[in-house]
Chain A
Amino acid sequence: MTVQPLNSFRTGPDERGHFGIYGGRFVAETLMPNILELERAYTAAKADPAYQKEMDYHLKHFVGRPSPLYFAERLTQKFGGAKIYFKREDLNHTGAHKVNNVTGQIMLALRMGKKRIIAETGAGMHGVATATLCAKFGLPCVVYMGAVDVERQQPNVLRMKMLGAEVRPVTSGSHTLKDAMNEALRDWVTNVSDTFYCIGTVAGPHPYPAMVRDFQCVIGNETREQMQEAEGRLPDSLIACIGGGSNAMGLFHPFLDDRSVEIYGVEAAGHGVTTGLHAASIAGGRPGVLHGNRTYLLMDADGQITEAHSISAGLDYPGIGPEHAWLNDMGRVKFLSATDDEAVAAFQLCSQLEGIIPALEPAHALARVFDLAPKLPKDHLMVVNLSGRGDKDLDSVAQFLESKKKK
């Protein structure tokens, strides 16, 4: 057999958890035995048909999968170019794609005999999904959430509490998602033996980036089948918003080796990438090490992590999943960004033309769809991951619009 130049983008990570130079296991020694245990347990579960079967059952009957692939007819008409489809992850139980991953991880925790679940959350969607599955399976649940996010995502805080979870506001550092993750890691270091850390995105130490990706691949796998059914062929382009990047990776990964499919990730540009007030780690960051993995990060010249800024709490993170970092360097995924203003405009337009209030996170992807689509031919099939619904964001958007009016 001759050695081929990279003939698949889907074989990573290597056994040490690396995607090229990214990924890895940069954690305190206290956690290493846990991470190795998790890797063994996940490898065993993945090979067990009973585990997959049980997961499929819950994804169908509890989550409500498959989620529809919906033709966004009026937006398509308005822009007069590419045919725009939405992958409706907003219709999942709990209102976002996060539940796909949580279902997989909680069932793994049960297999491992773990008695207590912890999670970090930004916008609260991962926290709500975790609280939901913990309620369903009778597990105590602690969710760490930055104090700033507790303020701006009150509806999700109330949901988590109603579901029986304990929400711990985090007041260290910048009081947002990265600090919630620090606090969850500190909890895990302290409660290593009985606690399962349910990470919400394709980041963290190996095996999390690969494991969360695997659980989210249901999005892309369904999209493939559904597009085949609707149009008799593959889509021409995929687009999704990226904070850590789990909804994007779930949509992208099954298509990485279909070279005809163009793939776009959209980061949050906040006030604008040149202002320094943004959350676009590929556009405005560089490779570094945080939260167990090497990836693109926002930082200063001394290697200190800087605060991310975005109207969307779910994208307000100074890093990105390591596999995305690698796909960027390989040129397989093209990374774009959208500002707060653009995302809010897209949020409004989608609500008014399609009758779907998207979350602020996928509104960032929609903002770029709106300038890509008009330039593309009418037979171009574009899939947007509508990763969550926007009920949680109504207050934030109303306040944002109010403050704009005053200016």
Chain B
Amino acid sequence: MTTRIERRFAALKAEGRAALVTFTMSGDPDYATSLALAKALPKAGADLIELGMPFTDPMADGVAIQAAGLRALKGGQTLIKTLAMVREFRQDNDDTPIVLMGYYNPIYIYGVDKFLVDAKAAGVDGLIVVDLPPEEDVELCLPALKAGLNFIRLATPTTDDRRLPAVLNNTSGFVYYVSIAGITGSAAPDAGKVSAAVERIKRHTELPVAVGFGVRNAESARAIAAGADGVVVGSALIDVLRANLDAEGRPGPNMVKAVTALVADIAEGVRSARAL
């Protein structure tokens, strides 16, 4: 049994290029707009889609994603609606992998077993839950793997060789390398250091390694893509989204177009990385 995530990374490996992974917040600034955006992302060049599950207290996120989550919550987004959004997305897209990313409490309150059944049925392929390190694997990671979902773990610059095996154990789909010790939206990482870190992780695992944090444009994406299996971009997209909100926080007419234009640009960077 393979998941959409595994199939997508295998196909891109055959193509000889890295994956572009986009992060947007479900329900930001409202359900309909974020669904329209999610539906437009694959055409713009996103190979995998990460959808944020908004949470009031996102302790590892910078201001852009914090604000995105609060906008979504203000717009009435809930975990139930996020799963509904995935179902709607799946009506006309059956092959783009979807990863839900967020914090544990809303899932815990939804009920872990019920959540896994509903997420799988909706068409979710993997989970990234920021505040569940390997020490808490019994909470969600092991049940998720059993339910046939990938559980994608974050590795960071502070994850040394001694700790890496613990982090990689029970990780599936891909490894998300957080390229800097910091919160989302922080300064760009040094590409040389990043590819060395990716090589270090690859000595411990066969899984693809996607790199996130600090990717803002085609140029930084290209530099990272040259030495990784995937590039994650999030805060930069959310900054464009925010710039297209009016004074009352409503989406402007060109919002989806503006965000997907940046995605297309970054996708070009990712696709040209290995050809250089």
B276 CB → nearest A CB, Å: 31
Chain B proximity mask over A6-29: 1 for CB below 8 Å, otherwise 0: 000000000010000000111111
Taking a contact as CB atoms under 8 Å apart, the answer to whether B57 and A29 are in contact is no
Shortest 3 CB-CB distances between A and B: which pairs? A303-B109, A303-B106, A28-B60
A286 CB → nearest B CB, Å: 8
Chain A proximity mask over B180-222: 1 for CB below 8 Å, otherwise 0: 0111001000000000000000000000000000000000000
A55 within 8 A of B: no
Taking a contact as CB atoms under 8 Å apart, the answer to whether B108 and A186 are in contact is no
Using Cβ atoms and an 8 Å threshold, which residues of chain B touch A185? 59-60
A81 CB → nearest B CB, Å: 43
User: With the chains together, A280 CA to B2 CA distance in Å?
Assistant: 47
User: With the chains together, A400 CA to B209 CA distance in Å?
Assistant: 57
A26 contacts which of B62, B106, B132 (Cβ < 8 Å)? B132
A206 CB → nearest B CB, Å: 9
Pairs across A and B, CB under 8 Å, 13 listed:
A27-B131, A28-B60, A29-B154, A30-B157, A30-B178, A32-B135, A189-B183, A191-B181, A290-B105, A299-B109, A301-B109, A304-B56, A305-B57
With A182-B59, A189-B60, A303-B108 as contacts: A29 and B183 at CB distance below 8 Å: no
Known: A16-B135, A26-B131, A193-B158. 16 other contacts (CB 8 A): A28-B130, A28-B133, A28-B154, A29-B133, A29-B154, A29-B167, A30-B156, A31-B158, A33-B159, A33-B163, A172-B63, A179-B57, A191-B181, A192-B158, A292-B131, A299-B105
Using Cβ atoms and an 8 Å threshold, which residues of chain A touch B26? none
Taking a contact as CB atoms under 8 Å apart, the answer to whether A303 and B105 are in contact is yes
- Across the interface, name the chain B residue whose C-beta is closest to A183: B59
Taking a contact as CB atoms under 8 Å apart, the answer to whether A172 and B105 are in contact is no
- Across the interface, name the chain A residue whose C-beta is closest to B69: A304
Using Cβ atoms and an 8 Å threshold, which residues of chain B touch A173? 56-57, 66, 70
Pick from A31, A33, A289, A301 the residue with the most CB of B within 10 Å: A289
Using Cβ atoms and an 8 Å threshold, which residues of chain A touch B155? 29
Taking a contact as CB atoms under 8 Å apart, the answer to whether A28 and B109 are in contact is no
User: With the chains together, A300 CA to B155 CA distance in Å?
Assistant: 31
B71 CB → nearest A CB, Å: 13
B78 contacts which of A16, A297, A302 (Cβ < 8 Å)? A302
- Considering only residues 102-155 of chain B, those with a C-beta below 8 Å from chain A are 103-110, 130-133, 135-136, 153-155
- Considering only residues 70-110 of chain B, those with a C-beta below 8 Å from chain A are 70, 73, 78-80, 103-110
Using Cβ atoms and an 8 Å threshold, which residues of chain B touch A140? none
Which residues of B come within 8 Å of A, CB atoms?
A: 55-63, 66, 70, 73, 78-80, 103-110, 130-133, 135-136, 153-160, 163, 167, 178, 181-183, 186
Using Cβ atoms and an 8 Å threshold, which residues of chain A touch B181? 30, 189-193
A221 within 8 A of B: no
Taking a contact as CB atoms under 8 Å apart, the answer to whether A190 and B55 are in contact is no
Taking a contact as CB atoms under 8 Å apart, the answer to whether B136 and A178 are in contact is no
Using Cβ atoms and an 8 Å threshold, which residues of chain A touch B183? 186, 189-190
User: With the chains together, A189 CA to B62 CA distance in Å?
Assistant: 11
Taking a contact as CB atoms under 8 Å apart, the answer to whether B131 and A289 are in contact is yes
Pick from B135, B159, B182 the residue with the most CB of A within 10 Å: B135
User: With the chains together, A282 CA to B78 CA distance in Å?
Assistant: 24
Which residues of A come within 8 Å of B, CB atoms?
A: 16, 24-34, 172-173, 178-179, 182, 185-186, 189-193, 288-292, 297, 299, 301-305
User: With the chains together, A290 CA to B103 CA distance in Å?
Assistant: 9
- Across the interface, name the chain A residue whose C-beta is closest to B180: A190
- Across the interface, name the chain B residue whose C-beta is closest to A179: B57
Main secondary structure of the interface of A (DSSP, over half): mixed
Using Cβ atoms and an 8 Å threshold, which residues of chain A touch B55? 303-304
Taking a contact as CB atoms under 8 Å apart, the answer to whether A26 and B57 are in contact is no
B142 CB → nearest A CB, Å: 15
Taking a contact as CB atoms under 8 Å apart, the answer to whether B133 and A25 are in contact is yes
Taking a contact as CB atoms under 8 Å apart, the answer to whether A26 and B136 are in contact is yes
Taking a contact as CB atoms under 8 Å apart, the answer to whether A32 and B106 are in contact is no
Taking a contact as CB atoms under 8 Å apart, the answer to whether B78 and A289 are in contact is no
With A25-B136, A190-B183 as contacts: A30 and B57 at CB distance below 8 Å: no
Taking a contact as CB atoms under 8 Å apart, the answer to whether B79 and A303 are in contact is yes
Using Cβ atoms and an 8 Å threshold, which residues of chain B touch A305? 56-57, 105
A150 CB → nearest B CB, Å: 19
Pick from B73, B105, B159, B160 the residue with the most CB of A within 10 Å: B105
A302 contacts which of B70, B79, B160, B182 (Cβ < 8 Å)? B79
User: With the chains together, A288 CA to B133 CA distance in Å?
Assistant: 16
Using Cβ atoms and an 8 Å threshold, which residues of chain A touch B132? 26
A19 CB → nearest B CB, Å: 15
Using Cβ atoms and an 8 Å threshold, which residues of chain A touch B136? 24-26
User: With the chains together, A25 CA to B131 CA distance in Å?
Assistant: 8
Taking a contact as CB atoms under 8 Å apart, the answer to whether B107 and A303 are in contact is yes
B209 CB → nearest A CB, Å: 14
B94 CB → nearest A CB, Å: 28
B144 CB → nearest A CB, Å: 16
- Across the interface, name the chain B residue whose C-beta is closest to A26: B131
- Across the interface, name the chain A residue whose C-beta is closest to B80: A302
A178 contacts which of B57, B158, B159 (Cβ < 8 Å)? B57
B59 contacts which of A193, A291, A301 (Cβ < 8 Å)? A291
Using Cβ atoms and an 8 Å threshold, which residues of chain A touch B131? 26-28, 289, 292
With A29-B178, A288-B105 as contacts: A303 and B59 at CB distance below 8 Å: no
Using Cβ atoms and an 8 Å threshold, which residues of chain A touch B70? 173
B268 CB → nearest A CB, Å: 31
User: With the chains together, A3 CA to B132 CA distance in Å?
Assistant: 33
A148 CB → nearest B CB, Å: 16
With A190-B183, A290-B57, A303-B105 as contacts: A32 and B79 at CB distance below 8 Å: no
- Across the interface, name the chain B residue whose C-beta is closest to A29: B154
- Across the interface, name the chain B residue whose C-beta is closest to A16: B135
User: With the chains together, A304 CA to B159 CA distance in Å?
Assistant: 29
Using Cβ atoms and an 8 Å threshold, which residues of chain B touch A172? 63, 66
Using Cβ atoms and an 8 Å threshold, which residues of chain A touch B61? 186
B186 contacts which of A29, A31, A190 (Cβ < 8 Å)? A190
With A28-B131, A29-B153, A305-B57 as contacts: A34 and B66 at CB distance below 8 Å: no
Taking a contact as CB atoms under 8 Å apart, the answer to whether B60 and A30 are in contact is yes
